[in-house]
Amino acid sequence: MSRVCSAAGSAAPSLGPLTKSATPVDPERYRLARRRRYEAQATAAALLPGERVSRCGWRPIEGHIGISCRDGRHYISNARVCGSVWTCPNCASKVATRRADELNAAVNSWTDQGGSVWLLTLTIDHVRKNTLEDLVKRFTEAMRKLWAGKWSASWRSDSGQVGTVRNIELTWGATNGWHPHCHALLFVGSDEVSCFESRIKERWQSVAARFGFSVSLKRGATLELVTDGRVVSDYVNKDETATWGAAHELTWANIKTARGQRFTPFALLAACDLSEVSAAPALFQEYADAFKGRRQLYWSKGLRDRLGFNAELTDEDVANAQDGQAEFVAAVDTSIFCWIKARGFLPDLLDAADDFGLNGINAFLGWAYERRAIAAGQTHPRLSGVWSEGSGERSEHLDRQRTPAVFAYA
């Protein structure tokens, strides 16, 4: 894939930034997803050269870039990242995982107190002539209006609603263009909210009309009870995690796989080189402009305090947080790391680490040093070197004759 596209009671405490879920995923499926994220990030960087995603992951926070491991999976650590959930697939995956952990904790905390949580989905009819900037602005205003005024006060009183967490997400289709929609978790005191569904359907239809949207009374608003963190829904096909719950509906917006001939923003990145989606680069740039500066999740005022959670971290803080449960494996010289990253070989380095640990890292770096030296016309390539944790000394030992065949690139 080309990496350059021309454009046209007692609440549970917050999990905090240092936890990470370990969802069972098939190793090959996980590796393929990781590789696709790096490829998509490179495409996004080429499309948005002035944005943070173009600088994501190139420099260490301090010292050297690291490689760490958790649950048998290696990843790049101690690197400055952009934290953009909208344009960077790697940061989006990390932030979404941790946001989902926190939302699951919120759902569990509230249900343990005897409350219930409902997943509300809001959609609108749409037509191709609408521009994204206009759609997002009016859709956001309509969502705010939904929870304002006397109707909202009456709804909260009848349902016992104490707060909401909502998102805004997006798909694009060749027939009707952009389609913004929303998922929201409603934290209520009653498990009989379904009897109020007709009220919120009528309210959403009325509010949306004020902002120029046509809304189906049947499909415009739907409510589903969250049970054990899950809902019974076929709203989307899930692609990167084996288990899926209500929290993922809100946090994995860009990473989901839309149904039919529709594309999520990151799916548009993957489609940049497909002739049938020739507009994908320009569409992704339009999307990046429209969502720049927006938050991924919106918690209603007072809900985090009611659940006993700490102040919400920014997406960038979450993305830059170090995983306290991970094991540091090696530190890599910045220059060779950048050489590997620039040529799209980071997934291969991490695959080597997953398969052979520190020996695999050393072997791959040896190949990289040699390949770089040959390209530069040097006759005596520098040996690879990493620091293993606690040694404090550089290892210059590598038997290239024993380099696994997987590293023997043409």
Residue 377 has what pLDDT? 81
Q: Which two tokens stand for residue 112?
A: 């343990």
Q: What would the mean pLDDT of 257-264 be, rounded to a whole number?
A: 68
Q: How far is CA 157 from CA 113, 120, 188, 207, 286, in A?
A: 18, 18, 10, 20, 41
Residue 218 has what pLDDT? 87
Picking from 375, 320, 276, 266, the residue whose alpha carbon sits closest to that of residue 42 is 266
Domain boundaries, the chain: 27-66+82-320, 333-407
d(CA 115, CA 112) in angstroms, rounded, equals 7
CA 19 to chain centre: 16
Residue 15 has what pLDDT? 31
Picking from 340, 333, 104, the residue whose alpha carbon sits closest to that of residue 231 is 104
**3-50 pLDDT, tens digit each:** 223 222 333 333 332 233 334 568 888 999 999 999 999 999 999 999
Residue 394: pLDDT band (50, 70, 90) is: very low
Q: What would the mean pLDDT of 130-153 be, rounded to a whole number?
A: 90
Q: What would the mean pLDDT of 63-67 be, rounded to a whole number?
A: 93
Pair 44, 87: CB distance under 8 Å: yes
Residue 208 has what pLDDT? 94
d(CA 321, CA 226) in angstroms, rounded, equals 29
- Tokens 């550089």 locate to 394
Residue 234 in this model has a pLDDT that exceeds 80: no
Instruction: State pTM to two decimals.
Output: 0.79
d(CA 62, CA 398) in angstroms, rounded, equals 27
Residue 90 has what pLDDT? 93
Rounded to 10 deg, the angle between the 27-47 and 346-375 helix axes is 60
**70-95 pLDDT, tens digit each:** 999 999 999 999 999 999 999 999 99
**357-387 pLDDT, tens digit each:** 999 999 999 999 999 998 888 755 454 445 4
Residue 282 in this model has a pLDDT that exceeds 80: yes
- Tokens 């096909």 locate to 237
